[in-house]
A and B are shown apart, each in its own frame.
Chain A
């Protein structure tokens, strides 16, 4: 048997999935063409809030090439005009009574080509009666605000929920005893995951077979299958969701969007496949946005130590409460807001409000609102350091949770698995040359040049999660791995998660290589087809490695146990007398008496001990005992132009600790992607609205994404603090940089102006805002 070096954990092997992508042979949803396929386009509301008086589709229906025009009324006849959201609310599929945000889906045209469908959209006449629009939570929660969700019987205001965590009394006492209180009001603005591929589906309800195959951009195909069954009434065994290649997800492809439901209904009614691919405007104006939290934070400080934290927030939820997050958590994992700091008491509260905007909120690599929390604490800590006259790095170190405090129970009930925060920060400072930079900054200031240094030391929480606490619409958040080894020693691994660029086809094969000794090249990884894979909750919130990765390790180890039994049989030795060296069992003391895993695989089908079941396979559904807590320290250096307010990033140093790294190259790729998204969010990304609720930021001319020119280069470092409860010690890392970096960028720009009394800048930190601050501080050119 040829020996291939078995590369498991820690190897930066090249990705297997690249083979098709570099050839342009990926299969994204829009690449799929089925015989007889029709094309669907959506007509969207121009108004943020309006009564729908009438819809005349007659001219559209008469256009040659148009097969059907679907209205809310038609959907209502099939009980499909409304659908449940992932947060227990309802959302309009197609408008019936009112439209509640600009861009809301009103009608759909199904035609022989998308060009004709678009022609037909222009022929539909909708009579609207505009209503006053509500464009922020403060306005929404006022006494006289128009009630947006008057479709809901018991909804008499725009208030959705109130949620609390922590200990109010103890925290109030801590604040009473503090010698200083530092406060900050800040808005984490509405932004959007904007993956390069928009959302879409090809719905193929086949009348001959009764099988509904829905190819869709889905980060959670099994959940979507179950939801489709519940919403449409189609029997779940006849529904197959196929999510092939996805061109970026970042949380955008977790919710169920009206387009998917209408396309499926259309396919069912017409007996032909229906393709719906939204355009970029549809994506930005109607699909799950991210953030939009109005936050207030306070730190109680005594003798230089943080002794209490208060945080309150108003969440702008849009017209339907459709956050994609665990059902018991109204504001996600925001209560991680004590961050990396040993804060004895904290109180967190949040209120959600309806507004005339698209629904969403939990998206864009947020780890269920950890981005918002991390931003608040890292900005607060910097503000506090500044007010106390303490170096921001030292202030952090003084308040960090210490290594000997782990597992650490936080004031809001998290049990942090492991961490060494000071080590990561010191490494970042060393790589940066922090001391020298502070000197350079002071000298530059003398010459009228503004340099800023910004730090962020984040702890985030991923790997949802233990079934009792974490569920999506009741479905517990376990995940799964089904591993089958073939007679020729190759294997197939099927997962309940679904990558959108994270490299699972390679990294999960590496886990099998590590545990079972089968070369990763010989392990085929499959995800995304619900007919073919075990039930899972999908890929988002950095959960794949913590949960499905654990399931993979567990099942691989179970197969290794069975392999030992077979090997013992082949070697005519006792199981206890065998030694395992990745991929090979040998007899203790007689190393030449050995069988490879490939030998064992063959034997599993040909030569088994009496009574042992054939095959070498199994499935494991892993219920994580706890979350995992990746962390890191980032440092950003900027230069500010005093004449224009523009800032340029000179350096980014990022030290991450995600425990054991399966594939360092892939981990670094995730981090660099996140650092770029963090930069975009800090500098330029914004969806905003005028008073009438018109959306500004619904195309890439207005919604600005950093190009290779603006994006700085990154210097990466690592520390490794394994997770004690994870089978391979890994923690998940996909979102760390998006969580941790925005505060670092903002802290840097504020730091450049702090000597002149500037305390805060709101994101996106655009040049006009910086100029305004320069002007007020007497620093403008």
Chain B
């Protein structure tokens, strides 16, 4: 029997002294994040995520690479970003928000759903790239390629591996659910938000054989083996497109 832990992402305002003060409102369907900035704090967020800000908060565009990265690491990040842009991935730029006086910035992702908060204490968490929203602190962000087969998957070609000490906010399309894996578990690529723990994964076609791959309509799945936790979202952009396409005019 597989134990199932269902996490309710924290949506209450943070108690002072614990992480960056913030509040997640309008969850679970159209969650929006408000981060309260003090002087000296920088909020890094995915480009395009800003909804509103106090006038005194400044915004600067930067490339999505670790602050301590070397020149070559930055160049590598640049090329990975170009490839992602060619496949149709989202922009690789981030915005840095800072304020010399107290102020707030409101952030929201593109698709409907939840925002989850996680305080990282040195452990690693891997997110599918669309799931990253914002972070505060010295987090290491490494772009990982999912392998050649993953290119066929449209979504999920790249993953973001995060580690270090800091506050992280990630989003899901629809609701987010945690599944504790002990053995093997298959997850449709488009429904994967992230994972952590001692897990390895391979990307494969969903069903058995050629008929299964083409006809099942399932697309690619990630097969996880080991012990750890997988986060899934209750909607999938590819399925939305698949459902809508026959209903389009012409």
The judgment on whether A and B are partners is no
Binding site for B on A (CB under 8 A): none
Binding site for A on B (CB under 8 A): none
